[in-house]
Amino acid sequence: MAAAWEILSVACLALVELWGAIPLGLAMGLNPALVCVISAAGATFGAGGVILAGERLRSWLLCRTGRSPGKDGWARRIWERFGVAGLGLSAPLISGVPLGAAIGVALGAHPRSLMLWISAGTIIWSVILTILFSAGLQTLGWGG
């Protein structure tokens, strides 16, 4: 059975970086299914915190400065082409979950919709990355 500190380590790292949490959990010898669930839960929880805090900060900044977000960059192009769904599904792969959530808030996404799509993207990419990292470790003979 996995030690509580191992599970907590994976969950805490997933709060800020999904790509690091999955290999860490697998390197510790945790069950890949457990690593996937804990990583997805940690990253989703981190995104929720960013969305809650970011929405308040965005409202405050817009009232104070009266400026809208910039019109350039990859996030804006994804936003204009695919909306909140595209950003939420691609953020775990491209920018990371917390930064993707912050970008969504900055671009004016509705918090519930953003949380739904960020969660969906996090779950999908957690499964894919866990399978890939686990297969890679097994191929190298390092467990997994």
Which pLDDT does position 93 carry in this prediction? 92
Cβ neighbours around 132 below 10 Å, total: 11
**141 pLDDT band (50/70/90 cuts)?**
confident
**C-alpha gyration radius of the chain:** 17
**3 pLDDT band (50/70/90 cuts)?**
confident
DSSP state of 143: -
Cβ neighbours around 50 below 10 Å, total: 24
Q: pLDDT of 48-95, one tens digit each?
A: 999 999 888 877 777 777 666 556 666 677 778 888 999 999 999 999
Q: pLDDT of 109-137, one tens digit each?
A: 999 999 999 999 999 999 999 999 999 99
Q: pLDDT of 30-49, one tens digit each?
A: 999 999 999 999 999 999 99
Which pLDDT does position 11 carry in this prediction? 96
Is the pTM higher than 0.95? The answer reads: no
Q: Is 129 helix (H, G, I), strand (E, B) or coil?
A: helix
pLDDT at 98 over 60: yes
Q: Is 144 helix (H, G, I), strand (E, B) or coil?
A: coil
Q: Is 6 helix (H, G, I), strand (E, B) or coil?
A: helix
> How far is the C-alpha of 73 from the C-alpha of 128, rounded, in Å?
27
> How far is the C-alpha of 80 from the C-alpha of 88, rounded, in Å?
13
Answer yes or no: are the C-beta atoms of 40 and 58 closer than 8 Å: no
